[in-house]
């Protein structure tokens, strides 16, 4: 089963719109068709960002998505890498993906090193389709 680490921007996008690749990815994760991997620090960031007033996400929706993620996720505690990040909060996603040999799915690939395991939601779906065709 494919393992993925999902950046917060993808989780938020999936909650704000039920259409599009972020929502499809979350649906695959929540239906346990792909395995979501995260750390406690990532889970805390999900909670914090989903609660931003400007996003206007109902408390019930926030707690529902967090509960659903917790039910299917594998929790790892990654070792902190030494590479440089412009935004230090991105490091935990990179480190968690490296530690678990997972794909990192993010809407902000430019914030991360140029590595093959880091993909946008659309790149991830193109890779899945390619795997299904072979």
pLDDT of residue 95: 97
Rounded Cα gap, residues 17 and 79, in angstroms: 33
Helix/strand/coil for 17:
coil
CATH code at position 43: 3.40.50.1010
* Averaged pLDDT, 45-60: 97
pTM for this one?
0.93
Please name which of 65, 37, 40, 68 lies closest in space to residue 51, comparing C-alpha atoms: 65
Place of tokens 């991830």: 124
Decide: 38 and 73 in contact? Cβ < 8 Å: yes
pLDDT over 70 at 87, yes or no: yes
Task: Give the chain's domain count.
Answer: 1
Name the strand (E) or helix (H) holding 93: helix 91-100
Give the bridge partners for 104, in sequence order: 5, 118
Domain residue limits at 48: 3-133
């Amino acid at each position: 089963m494919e393992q993925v680490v999902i950046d917060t921007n993808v989780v938020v996008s999936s909650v704000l719109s039920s259409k599009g690749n972020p929502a499809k990815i979350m649906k695959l994760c929540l239906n346990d068709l792909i395995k979501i991997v995260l750390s406690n620090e990532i889970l805390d960031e999900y909670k914090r960002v989903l609660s931003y007033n400007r996003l206007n996400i109902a408390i019930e929706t926030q707690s529902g998505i967090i509960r659903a993620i917790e039910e299917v996720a594998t929790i790892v505690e990654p070792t902190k890498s030494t590479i440089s990040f412009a935004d230090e909060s991105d490091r935990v996603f990179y480190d968690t993906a490296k530690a678990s040999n997972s794909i990192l799915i993010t809407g902000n690939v430019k914030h991360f090193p140029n590595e093959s395991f880091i993909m946008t939601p659309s790149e991830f779906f193109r890779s899945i389709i390619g795997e299904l065709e072979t």
